[in-house]
Amino acid sequence: MAKKGTVFIIDDNKSILKTLELLLSEHFQRVITLSSPESFPAMLHEIKSPDVILLDMNFSAGINNGNEGLFWLNRIKTLLPNTPVVLFTAYAYIDLAVAGIKAGAYDFITKPWDNDKLIETLRNARDSRSSGSKRKTKEEPRPVFRGESPAMKKLYEQIEKVARTDANILITGENGTGKEVFAQELHHLSQRSGHDLVTVDMGAITETLFESELFGHVKGAFTDAKSDRAGKFEVASGGTLFMDEIGNLPFHLQARLLTALQRRKIIRVGSNTPIDVNIRLICATNCNLPEMVRKGTFREDLYYRINTISLEIPPLRQRREDILPMSEMFIERYAALYQKSPVRLGESAIRKFMEYSWPGNVRELQHTIEKAVIMGDSVLEASDFQFPEENLNVAEDANRTLEEMERDAIANAIRTYDGNLSLVAQQLGITRQTLYNKIKKFNLL
C-alpha cells in the first residue's frame, strides 16, 4: 500500500519515538516526532497540519492519571478541530478511554502496542479525515477573516469570480499576508473542493529530490527508494496543487516543471510510463516575478503558464480597518487555547496597533497577540507590546520598497534571536531553506 499523509507523534519516551518513526515511515509519507507537547503550538507555525496525531497521555514522572493527555487533547482539538487524535498510554483505564473519546479523541491505543493494530488505527484515523473533507460543502463555515476594508472587498470579488474555474492562479503579496489561507479559500470555493488540496513549498525542496517530490519514484530508482511513491502531482490529481514560494525555484528546474504543466503528464523517477494528472494549479510568491523575468532568473513561458489570473494580497498597513477586528479574532482564539479569562485590548494598545506599520503583516499580528495573551492580563495595554521604534512611523514606512522591508524584518529577527536561525525562521513563518536563501540574497551574515 502506498505511503500517504503525515503522522505526528508526541511522547516523552525518546526510544518509543525512534521505534515508531522507523515503524510508521513505511506507511506514512512523513513522520514527525516531539518529546514534549509544550512545543506543539509553536511548531504549527513551521509545519503543515498533520493528518493524524498520536498523543501520549502522561508526560510528568510519577503521574499516570492521564490528565495531561486530556489537557493537551483539548488544546490540540481547539487548534486543529478536524485532525484526528489517537491517545497512547501504558495505563488502560476504561474511564480514561471514555473521557478521551468524549473529549474528541478518535481512538485509544495501549502500550505495549501491537504493530498491526497501531498501524491500522492510525491509517483509519488518517482516512477518516480525508473522508470527512470530501463531505464538506460550500456552505460549511470557514475560519477565514474576510475583512471590511475596500482592498479586501475588492480581493474577494475577484476570488468569487475565479474560484469555480480551473484557471491557474498566481497569488502575490508580502510575507505574512496569508497567501496560503487564500489558496485554501480558492480551493474550498472551487468545484474541486471534494478532493484534496496538496501543498508543496518550492523553497524547501532540495534540488536532488525535486523530481521525486513532485513526480514520485518507483522502487529501486535510487538508493533510498525502498517502495513506489506517488509525487505531489499524482496525490493532487482531481483536486488542487498549491505551489508556495514558486519564485524560489532554481532556474534550471523550471523547465521540468513547465513540461509537466504543459502536458499534464508526469513520469515517476526510474519509470518510463507517463501518468495523466488532472490538477488545478495555484501558485504563490512574495517575489517580483516580472522583474525576475526581465533579469533572466525566471522563465517567461513558465510565468505566463502559472499566471492566468493574478491575485495580489494587500499588506496589513494598506487595510488598517481590518487590524482591530482581526486582533479581536486572534485574542478570542488564543484566550480559548490557553484557557485565559476574557481578554481585550485597552485604549493605549489600540492606539499603538493603529500607529504600527506591521511589516510582518497578519502573521506578525497573530504572533504578537498570542505572546501577549500568554503573558498578559485580562486587559492588554500598550506596555504589553514591544515594537521596533523604526516601524511605528507609518508614513516613513510607506516610502520603503518591499525588498527593504523584507530585509529589515529578517535582520531584526536575527538580532532579536541572537542568530538562532531556527527561531528566526519560526518567527517569520518560513522554512530554514527559504531563510538561508534570503540571508544570501540580502548578504545579512
Euclidean distance between CA atoms 155 and 138, whole angstroms: 19
The full 3-state SS of 107-135, as one line of letters, equals EEEECCCCHHHHHHHHHHHHHHHHHHHHC
Is domain 318-442 in CATH 3.50.50.60, yes or no?
no
Query: For the residues of 236-255, what is the DSSP string, one character each?
Result: HTTSEEEEETGGGS-HHHHH
Looking at residue 428, its pLDDT comes to: 78
For cell 521505534, what's the residue?
A: 19
Predicted confidence at residue 2, as pLDDT, reads 67
Task: Looking at 135-241, list the stretches that DSSP marks H as alpha helix, in order from N- to C-terminal side.
Answer: 150-162, 179-189, 210-215, 232-236
Contact 245, 201 (CB under 8 A): yes
Report strand pairing: 229-230 vs 197-201: unpaired
Please report the pLDDT score of residue 133 as a whole number: 39
Sequence ranges of the chain with CATH classification 1.10.8.60: 318-442
Residues of the chain with pLDDT below 70 are 1-2, 45-48, 60-66, 90-98, 129-144, 389-402, 417-418, 445
Instruction: Measure the CA–CA gap between 303 and 290, rounded to whole angstroms.
Output: 8
The arrangement of secondary structure in 6-134, i.e. its CATH architecture, is 3-Layer(aba) Sandwich (3.40)
At residue 293, the pLDDT reads 95
Burial status of residue 204 (CB atoms within 10 A of its CB: 0-12, 13-18, 19 or more): middle
The residues of the chain that CATH labels 3.40.50.2300 are 6-134
Longest C-alpha distance within the chain, in Å? Answer: 66
- Which residues in the chain are classed under CATH 3.40.50.300? 150-312
Cell triple for residue 162? 475565479
**Span 237-260, pLDDT tens digits:** 999 999 999 999 999 999 999 999
Taking a C-beta distance cutoff of 8 angstroms, is the pair 361, 315 a contact?
yes
Contacts of 17 (CB under 8 A, 6+ apart): 9, 11, 33, 34, 35
> Please, what CATH class does the domain formed by 150-312 belong to?
alpha beta
Compute the chain's Rg from CA coordinates: 23
Q: What is the DSSP letter of 306?
A: H
What gap in Å lies between CA 38 and CA 10, rounded to an integer? 10
